[in-house]
Amino acid sequence: MSLADAKLGLLSPTAGYGSYRFVIQVYQLTGEGKVQGIITASPNKPVTNAHGHKWPGHMELLAHEFWVKNFNLVLSTSDLYFLHPTTRVSLQLPIKDVTP
């Protein structure tokens, strides 16, 4: 399967496979010590899933590849860090769990 077969601007399983492979490749480069960090843009999940990869997002895929059970999305700037505890869960869960 080649990304050359994917048509620009059209959703396709081939493009979904490409986005999956890009995440896997950066994981491999990190494991080899060739890169020190990863910055990603969220892939088109329905397209990625159309190729048979059923990860809710690339965070879950990377957690699986790195054997990580507990993880969270963190956004940062300067000395500020923001966690997304509600990522991919029903809004009822954090409402129930939030306490003063």
Confirm whether 76 is domain-assigned. no
pLDDT tens digits, one per residue of 37-70:
887 766 777 777 777 777 777 788 888 888 999 8
Confidence of residue 29 (pLDDT cuts 50, 70, 90): very high
Task: Look up the domain containing 11 and give its range.
Answer: 3-70
Torsion of CA 76, 32, 27, 16, to 10 degrees: 130
Confirm whether 24 is domain-assigned. yes
For residue 28, pLDDT over 70 is answered with: yes
Could you tell me the CA-to-CA distances from 91 to 68, 85, 86, 97, 98 in Å, in that order?
24, 10, 7, 10, 11
* pTM of the predicted model as reported, rounded to 2 decimal places: 0.61
Domain count, the chain: 1
Confirm whether 54 is domain-assigned. yes
